[in-house]
Structure 1
Amino acid sequence: MHLTDIWFLLIAVLWTGYLVLEGFDFGVGMLLQAVAKDPVDRQVTLRTIGPVWDGNEVWLLVAGGATFAAFPFWYASLFSGFYLALLVILVALIVRGIALEYRNKLHDPQKHAAWHRRWDLAIVISSAVPALLWGVALANIVRGVPLDAEHNFTGNFFTLLNPYALLGGLTTLALFALHGAIFIALKTHGPVRDRARALVLPLAGLAVPLAAAFLLWTQTYDGSWITWVLAVLAAGSLITGVAASRMGRDGLGFLGTAATIVFASATLFVTLYPNVLPSTTDPAFSLTTTNASSTHYTLTIMTWVAVVFTPIVLLYQSYTYWVFRRRLTRDDIPQRGTPARPAPAETA
C-alpha cells in the first residue's frame, strides 16, 4: 500500500469519526424543542453534549487540515467548487457555537425567557443546516462534479443541488436526528428520555427508507461486492439499533446508529476510491489519490506525526467521554441561587 492510499484511508477515518460524533451533536440540537418542554428540560438536553460538542468539532478541523496537507489539489478543487455551500456550513457552525455558549449569559428575569427562545431556535436551525449540507457535499463528491482539464470546478451552487445529492442530504438529516434521539435517551432519565425514545420509531420511519434509497442509488455509480456488503451491514446496524432502543437497550441502540454511519461512510469512500473527486465532464479530468497528492516526503513526515499524536488525541477524548458518562436528570439542574446536586458515582 502506497502512502497516498494510507492517507486516503486516514482521511476517510477522520471524516467518519466526525460524522459519528458530530452527528449526535446535530441530532440533539435539532430535537431540542421536541424533547424539552420547559427550561429545565432544555438544560438537561443541552448538558448531554455540553462537555463534548466542541471536542467533536476538532475532528472536522483535523480532517480538513489532513486533506489540505495530503491532497492539496483535492482540497483546492473541493473548497473552491463547494465554496458557497461550505460557507453556509461554517456560518451555521459559528452560530451554533455562539448559541450554545450565549443562551445562559443573560440573568435578567424579565428578558430571560425571550433570550432563551431565540438562542434555542438558533441551535435547532444551525444544527439542521450542516446535517443536511454535509450529506449534499458527500454525495456530490461520490457522484462527481464538472471539472475541466486543470481540475477547476465549472459548475455553480445549483449544480450541487441535484437529486442524488439532495437525497444524500435528507439521509444524513434523518439519520443524525435518529442518532441524536437515541443519544439523548442514553444520557438522560425522566421525561426527556421518554420523549426522546418516543421519537425513535417515527425518525426511523424516515431514516430507514431514505438511507436504503441513497445506498442503492450509490451502487449505480461504481458498486462492487465490497460496497454491497458494507451497505447491507449499514442497513442491519440501523435496524438493530432501532430495535434495541425500542427495547430499552439505549447503549446498544446508540452503537447501532453509530455503526450505521461508519458502514455508510465506508460505502461512500470505497465507491469513491481511487478517485478523490470524479469529473462528470470527462473521466480523464478526475482527481485521484495519485494526481492530487502531496510529495512522498511530505506524506512521510505527516505519517510519523499521525503515528505519534493520533493515539494521544483518541485517549484524551475517550477519557472525556468516560468522565461525563453519567445519565442526567432534572435534579442535576440547579434552581437559581442553589447548588447543583452532587453527581453520584454510578455509571450510565
Structure 2
Amino acid sequence: MDTVLGIDLPTWWFLLIGALISGYGILDGFDLGAGAIHLFFRKEDSRRIALNAIGPVWDGNEVWLVIGAGSLFAAFPLVYGTILSVFYLPFILFLVAIIFRAISIEFRSKEEMKWWRKLWDISFCLSSIVISLLLGLILGNLIQGIPLNANHEFVGRLRDFFNPYALLIAVTVLSLFMMHGAMYLIMKTEDRIFTRLTIIANNTSKFFILCFMATSLATLIYVPHMTAIFKNYPILFVLPITAVLIVLNIRRSIEKRQYRRGFVSSAITTALLLILFAMGLYPNLVLSNIDPRGHISIYEAASSDGSLRTMLLFAFIGMPLVGTYTVFMFWTFRGKVKLEEHSY
C-alpha cells in the first residue's frame, strides 16, 4: 500500500476528513447555536443584530460540510453509500432543516409584518435545533454501532436510532452549540443584547457541562470499545484529560468575563471531542453492533491508491485555500455588529 510521509493513504484521508468535519463543527456550530437561542431575544433589534452577526459567514461555514461529504464520497465510497442508506430519513430531515434555516435568514426582513418576522424567527430557531439534534443523533449511533450484517446491509428499524445513548449525544451536541453560539454573539454585540447573552452563556455552559459529564459516564459504561485505545496506549490519556481541563476553562472564562477565551475553549472542545470519537473508531469508519464482520474499515472502504494519491494532491492545495478564505472572511467582518439600512 502506498504511503506519504510514512502514513498510508487511507489513514491520510481519515485524518483529512476528520479535519474537515472538525472545521464544520467549530464554524457552523456557532451559527447553529446562535439560531437555537434566537427566540431568547425578545426585542426586534436584538434578533436583527444576532442575525447580522452570523449573516456574512453562515453560508461560507457550510462549505466545510460540503467538502467533507464530497471527500468521504471520493475516498471511501462504500462508507458514503452505507451511511446515506442507513440514515436516509435523518439526512432528508437534515436537508429540509438546512433549507428552512437558509430561507428563514433571507426571508425574515423582506416584509415588515410582525407575524411574518415571527414566523421566520421560529423557523430559524427550530431548524437550527433540529440540525444540531440530528447531527448528534447520527454521531451517537456511529459511536455505539449500527445494526449491519456481514454484507454491510442495514437490518435494523427506524426506532433503533432513537436509543437513550444516541439521544444523550444529540442533547449534548445541542448544548455545546448553544454555548458556542452564545459566546460568539457576545463577541459581536454590545449594550442590552450583550447583557442578555452573558446570562444565556452562563446558563448554556452549565447545561453543557452536565451533558458532558453524563455523556462521559455513559460512554465509559455502555460503549467500552471507545476507550479500548487508551488501555493499549496509556499516553493518549492526555487527550481526555485535556478535554476536561478545557471544558473547565470555559466556565472559568465565563466567570471572569473573558468571552473570547471562552469561545476559543469551546472551539477546542468541539475539536477534541471529535478527535476522541475518531480515535475510538480507527481504523474503522462504521461499526456494526450485531456482527463484527459488518464493521467497515478505512482499508476495506478506500478507493484505489492511485485515486487517493491524486486526490490527496488536490486536497493539500485546496484545504489551505479554503482555510485562507475563511480567515479572510472573519477578518473582513470583524468587530461589533451595527444595524444599517441593508441589514437583515
Q: Distance between the aligned counterparts of 2:342 and 2:99, measured in 1?
A: 31
- Aligned partners of 2:226 and 2:277 also within 8 Å: no
Q: Distance between the aligned counterparts of 1:165 and 1:119, measured in 2?
A: 29
Task: Note if 1:92 corresponds to 2:97.
Answer: yes
Q: Which residue of 1 aligns with 2:122?
A: 121
Q: Secondary structure at the match of 1:291?
A: helix
Q: Secondary structure at the match of 2:285?
A: strand
- Aligned partners of 1:146 and 1:154 also within 8 Å: yes
Q: Which residue of 2 aligns with 1:153?
A: 154
Task: Note if 1:22 corresponds to 2:22.
Answer: no
Deviation, structure 1 residue 226: 5.9
Q: Which residue of 2 aligns with 1:65?
A: 70
The partner residue of 1:77 within 70, 73, 82 is 82
Task: Note if 1:4 corresponds to 2:10.
Answer: yes
Cα distance, 1:142–1:227 mapped onto 2, change above 3 Å: farther
- Aligned partners of 1:133 and 1:169 also within 8 Å: yes
Identity %: 34
Q: Which residue of 2 aligns with 1:256?
A: 265
Which shifted more, 240-249 or 319-328?
A: 240-249
Deviation, structure 1 residue 229: 2.9
Q: Distance between the aligned counterparts of 1:105 and 1:339, measured in 2?
A: 11
- What TM-score comes out, normalization by structure 2 length? 0.92
Q: Which residue of 1 aligns with 2:163?
A: 162
Q: Which residue of 2 aligns with 1:37?
A: 42
Cα distance, 1:227–1:81 mapped onto 2, change above 3 Å: farther
Deviation, structure 1 residue 159: 1.1
Deviation, structure 1 residue 209: 1.8
Q: Secondary structure at the match of 1:145?
A: coil
Q: Distance between the aligned counterparts of 2:214 and 2:123, measured in 1?
A: 31
Deviations 1:312-340 (A, max 9, x none): 11111100000111112xxx224xxx688
The partner residue of 2:106 within 80, 98, 101 is 101
Q: Which residue of 2 aligns with 1:213?
A: 214
Deviations 1:35-65 (A, max 9, x none): x222111111111100000001111111111
The partner residue of 1:304 within 293, 301, 313 is 313
Aligned residues: 329
- Aligned partners of 1:215 and 1:264 also within 8 Å: no
Q: Distance between the aligned counterparts of 1:8 and 1:339, measured in 2?
A: 43
Which residue identity lines up with residue 26 of structure 1 in the other structure? Answer: L
Task: Note if 1:284 corresponds to 2:293.
Answer: yes
- Aligned partners of 2:205 and 2:250 also within 8 Å: no
Deviations 1:195-221 (A, max 9, x none): 111112221221112112213433422
- Aligned partners of 1:85 and 1:157 also within 8 Å: no
Task: Note if 1:238 corresponds to 2:244.
Answer: no
Q: Which residue of 2 aligns with 1:268?
A: 277
User: Can you give the 5+ residue segments of structure 2 that lack an aligned partner in the other structure?
Assistant: 1-6
Deviation, structure 1 residue 230: 2.3
Q: Secondary structure at the match of 1:217?
A: helix
Deviation, structure 1 residue 232: 2.2
Q: Distance between the aligned counterparts of 1:318 and 1:127, measured in 2?
A: 24
The partner residue of 2:226 within 222, 228, 242 is 222
Task: Note if 1:333 corresponds to 2:339.
Answer: yes
Deviation, structure 1 residue 177: 0.5
- What TM-score comes out, normalization by structure 1 length? 0.91
- Aligned partners of 2:72 and 2:79 also within 8 Å: yes
Q: Distance between the aligned counterparts of 1:232 and 1:135, measured in 2?
A: 22
- Aligned partners of 2:9 and 2:309 also within 8 Å: yes
Q: Secondary structure at the match of 1:103?
A: helix
Aligned 1:319-330 pairs, distance under 5 A = 319-328=328-337
Q: Distance between the aligned counterparts of 1:98 and 1:211, measured in 2?
A: 32
